Amino acid sequence: MPQYEQQIAQALNGLAYLVGEAPGALKAQLSAPGIVPPVPPTVPVGLPSTLARRHPDIRHAEATLHAATASVGVAVAQFYPDVSLTGSVGTRATNASDLSRWSHLFYSFGPSVSLPIFQGGALVSNLRMTKAQQAEAALDYRKTVLMALRDVDNALVIYRTDQTHLDSLGDSVTAEQSAFDLAKDSYRKGITSFINVLDAERQLAQARQQYAQGTMQVSTDLVALYKALGGGWQDDGGTPAAATPASSASAAGG
């Protein structure tokens, strides 16, 4: 029990940290025991394009690629002549009293042209570097997308197989409950000893514990899938999650 109490305290403090609260802030809310929330049998992942729009890593890599592509355009624009129209107006005089006279007024107006003919090597090198950075950003974007799709597929496989395993554990609980009931009935009728009843009860407790661990694992798999998807999803059908073998475990507990 002390080990479980330690894990509970650490989990409560970890959750409080994630929501920006002080340690112990969620103790009153989460200390009361309750059933594990049911999980949906399937998860509507959607199209890969939908994943790309909501996954933060993909969006960051996409923004980096856009910035690198824009830098290439800037590097190319530096090769073109720079034409500007400039002008100036003012007065000049040796005495301050003469500054207000029109005869001391001067102005200049005309275009200026800048030709980058003496920076050709630097501009070419800069263009090559920006193109290399763009290619690197494109490869990084592709790598990020493939890794995100890989993580989603792995999470889906783990989620599906652990659900199948949980169904088998639910069947085991039902079978062990029947064996326990049969052992008790046989003991009442004098057919078997009480040792068989205790052994059947021990196997039933082990099956229930394995089912509880399997339920926790499936819930953890759902969180991992939620993380791999870069957020949540919306069930357009609005149907509740399908029933799990929890009913069998409840019946076994009765």
Amino acid 210: pLDDT: 96
CA separation for the pair 219, 153 (Å, rounded): 17
Amino acid 125: pLDDT: 84
- Along the chain (254 residues), what's the average pLDDT of each consecutive run of 10 residues? 91 92 89 83 69 78 89 78 62 62 60 59 82 90 88 88 94 96 93 92 96 93 85 50 37 39
Amino acid 24: pLDDT: 87
Provide the whole-model pTM: 0.63
The values of phi and psi at residue 189, to 5°, are -90, 0
Amino acid 158: pLDDT: 93
**Could you write out the DSSP letters of every residue in 177-241?**
HHHHHHHHHHHHTTSS-HHHHHHHHHHHHHHHHHHHHHHHHHHHHHHHHHHHTTS----TT-PPP
Amino acid 219: pLDDT: 92
**Could you write out the DSSP letters of every residue in 109-129?**
EEEEEE-GGG-HHHHHHHHHH
CA angle at 111 for the pair 108 and 114, rounded to the nearest 5°: 130
Bridge partners of 105, per DSSP, are 91
Amino acid 152: pLDDT: 84
What is the length of the chain? Answer: 254
For the stretch 76-91, what's the b/e string if a residue is b when 16 or more beta carbons lie within 10 angstroms of its beta carbon? Answer: eeeeeeeeeeeeeeee
Amino acid 171: pLDDT: 95
Token couple for 96: 């301050």
Amino acid 251: pLDDT: 38
For the chain, give every domain's residue range.
Answer: 1-34
| Helix (H/G/I), strand (E/B), else coil: 41 | coil
Dihedral (CA of 50, 54, 59, 61) sign: negative
